[in-house]
Structure 1
Amino acid sequence: MKTSMVMASSHKIFLLFFFITFLLFPTTQAQTDPYHICSPNKNFAANSAFQSDRARLLSSLASNNATDFNTATVVGRANTVHGLFMCRGDVDLTTCHQCVVNATQRLPSDCPVSKEAIVWYDECLLRYSNRSFFSTVDTRPRIGLLNTQNVSNPASFMRTLYDIMNKTANEAAKPAMGEKKYASTARQASTTRGDILAFRTVYCLAQCTPDLSSSDCSRCLSGAIGDLNWCCDGKEGGRVLYPSCNVRYELYPFYLPEAAAPTPTPAIVPLPGSQGKALTYLLKL
C-alpha cells in the first residue's frame, strides 16, 4: 500500500434518492455493473483546467499496479484534486489493477463535469474530489444493495447476522493506520423450510480504507452495519457501501477465503442459492 503525489481543483456530492433494479452477478462478472454517484450541482466547465487535472489524477491512479490501495493529489493552476482507490481485500493485484483501470475509464464518462464522484465495483472503489478527504470518515453518499429474496425466519437470522458482522468488523478495524483493514467470516445461521429447521452458511465481509485509524474504521463500520436494517432487513443478501468503508453478506461465497481461514462448514440442509436473484439498488443521503 503506497501513497503517490502528482499535480489540480473544488467541492461536494449531491445525492439523488431513487430505486432501480439490477441483476446480481457473480464477482467474476461484477466489473460490468458498477454503481456510481456524481455531484451534478458542483460542476466544472468542459475543457477547463480541472478536467485536465482530473485526467492526470486518474492516469496516476491507473498506472499503479503494485498495490491494492493508493492515493494521489494533483495540484493544478486553480485548485487541487484528490483521489484514491481501494481494492477488496481478497482480490489479487492483477484483478485489482484491471478494476482500477476500468474505474478510471468509466468515471469520467459517467460524471463528465463533476467536481466530486465515486464508483463502486465488486472488486474496487475509486473516488476523487476537489476537497481533501484522506484519513476522514465519509459515510455519505451511501448505497444499499439488497437481494429481493426473503429469509424464512428474519428475526433469528438478523440477530445471528449482526453478531457475525460485528465480529467481522472488529477484526477488520484491528490493523493500524496504513495497513489493510479487511476481514471476512463464514458462519451458520438457522432458517426454515416449512416446519423443518435448516442451517445456511452466512458469508460476511467488512473493509475500511487503510488511511483510517482503527477507531475511525470501527466507527465507519458500525454505521454501515446499522444501515443493514435500512436496506436489507430480512433479506438473503445485502451490502452497504460508504466512501470510507463497506459491509456485505450473502448466503453464497462471494469472496476468496483467507489463507489462514478454515473452510466453512457446509450447510446441513442446502437451500436454493441467492445468485441470479434480483438486487434492489438504494441511493440515499
Structure 2
Amino acid sequence: MTMSMVMASSHKIFLLFFFITFLHFPTTQAQTNLDSSCSSNKTFAANSAFQSDRTTLLSSLASNNTTDTEFYNATVSSGGDTAYGLFMCRGDVNLTTCHQCVVNATQRLPSECRSSKEAIIWYDECLLRYSNRSFFSTVDTRPRVGLLNTGNVPNQASFMRTLYDTMNKTADVAAKPAVGKKKYATGTANFSAFQTVYCMAQCTPDLSPSDCRRCLSGTIGDLDWCCDGKQGGRVLYPSCNVRYELYPFYYQSEASVPTPTPAIIPPTNTTGSQGKGGISSSIEIK
C-alpha cells in the first residue's frame, strides 16, 4: 500500500470517527441555571411510591412541553402522596428555547434534590417545580432568591424611585393582560439623557389577576432587600418574578409599558467589571 493510499484511508477513518462522535455528542443547549431549592424536612425513601410518581411527573412535564405549550401543570398519584408539578417559560423566549429549558430542568432537578418531596429550579428561560402538596392557583413567596449586579448607580434614591414607578406600572400590565395573553409584561424608563432602565414582570398563568399583582408587589418590595442602588437585579418567587437591567435583556413584546419622559439623573458606566452579564452574586432565603 502506497503512502498516499495510507493517508487517504486514515482520512476516511478520521471522518467516520468524527461523524460517529458528532452523532453521539450531547446536543443539550447550554442555558443559565440561576438557582434551585430542595426541601430538607420533607423527604422520601429510595424506591418509594413518591419517587416513582416524581419520575413519571417530570417525564410528563418534559413531554408535554410541545411546540404550543409554554405553561403546563400535572399531577401523578399511584398511592400515598400525590406529586404536583408545573413549568413556566419566560414570556419572551421562543418555543424551541422553552422546550430545551424544560428538558434541562427535568434532568437536573432530581439530581440536585434526590430525595426531596418539594423542589424548584429557576433558569433564565424557565422555572420548574414539584411538590407533594397542591400549589396550583396559589401564591407562593418562599423560597425566594435575589440576584444582583454588584455595580452601583449614582443618585441611588432617585434611581430607585424611577425603578419602583416603572416596575409597578409593568406589574399592573402583567397582572391584567389582554384576553389570551400571558401574565407577562415589560417596561422601560429613561433616567438620564443616555441611560434607560429595562423592567420585566411575570406570574404563573394559573394565578388570578389580584393574586398575581399581590405576588408581584412582594417581589418589587424585595428589590431593596436584593438590589438597592444596583445596576441590575431580579427577585424570584415560585409564583412570580421581576427583573431589571440597564440594557435590553428581553425580546420586545406587545405587552410593554410606554417609555415616560426622562428624569434628570447623571449617566453612569454600566459595563463595569461584570460587562453585560449583569448578575454577579446572589442572596437567598429558603
**Alignment TM-score, normalising by the size of structure 1:** 0.81
Residue 175 of structure 2 aligns with which residue?
173
Residue 285 of structure 2 aligns with which residue?
284
2:159 corresponds to which of 157, 160, 170: 157
- Give the number of the structure whose alpha-carbon radius of gyration is greater: 2
Residue 276 of structure 2 aligns with which residue?
275
Residue 228 of structure 1 aligns with which residue?
223
Paired AA for residue 202 in structure 1:
V
**RMSD between aligned residues:** 2.4
Aligned-partner Cα distance in 1 for 2:116–2:244: 31
Distance 1:128 1:101, change over 3 A: same
Higher helix proportion (structure 1 or 2): 2
1:219 corresponds to which of 199, 214, 217: 214
Aligned-partner Cα distance in 1 for 2:267–2:283: 32
Residue 247 of structure 1 aligns with which residue?
242
* 3-state DSSP of counterpart to 1:135: coil
Residue 21 of structure 2 aligns with which residue?
none
Higher strand proportion (structure 1 or 2): 1
Distance 1:74 1:48, change over 3 A: same
Moved more, 33-42 or 212-221: 33-42
1:207 corresponds to which of 196, 199, 202: 202
Cα deviation for residue 30 of structure 1 reads 7.2
Deviations 1:209-235 (A, max 9, x none): 000000000100001000001110000
The answer on whether the counterparts of 1:30 and 1:121 sit within 8 Å (CA) in structure 2 is: no
Cα deviation for residue 157 of structure 1 reads 0.3
Count matched residues: 249
Cα deviation for residue 179 of structure 1 reads 5.0
Residue 136 of structure 2 aligns with which residue?
134
Structure 1 residue 98 and structure 2 residue 100: aligned?
yes
Structure 1 residue 124 and structure 2 residue 119: aligned?
no
Cα deviation for residue 199 of structure 1 reads 3.5
The answer on whether the counterparts of 1:59 and 1:104 sit within 8 Å (CA) in structure 2 is: yes
The answer on whether the counterparts of 1:89 and 1:180 sit within 8 Å (CA) in structure 2 is: yes
Cα deviation for residue 253 of structure 1 reads 1.1
Aligned-partner Cα distance in 1 for 2:43–2:255: 47
Deviations 1:229-260 (A, max 9, x none): 11100000010000000000001111101157
Aligned-partner Cα distance in 1 for 2:110–2:79: 20
Aligned-partner Cα distance in 1 for 2:240–2:169: 15
Aligned-partner Cα distance in 2 for 1:221–1:44: 32
Higher relative contact order (CA 8 A, sep 6+): 1
Moved more, 29-38 or 142-151: 29-38
* 3-state DSSP of counterpart to 1:34: strand
The answer on whether the counterparts of 1:176 and 1:213 sit within 8 Å (CA) in structure 2 is: no
Aligned-partner Cα distance in 2 for 1:177–1:133: 24
Paired AA for residue 206 in structure 2:
D
Paired AA for residue 205 in structure 2:
P
* 3-state DSSP of counterpart to 2:190: strand
Residue 48 of structure 2 aligns with which residue?
48
Structure 1 residue runs without a partner (length 5+): 1-28, 191-197
Paired AA for residue 164 in structure 2:
Y
Distance 1:233 1:30, change over 3 A: farther
The answer on whether the counterparts of 1:142 and 1:284 sit within 8 Å (CA) in structure 2 is: yes
The answer on whether the counterparts of 1:177 and 1:213 sit within 8 Å (CA) in structure 2 is: no
Structure 2 residue runs without a partner (length 5+): 1-28
Taking every aligned residue pair, what percent have the same amino acid on both sides?
Answer: 70
Q: After superposition, where does 1:72-83 map in structure 2 within 5 Å?
A: 72-83=74-85
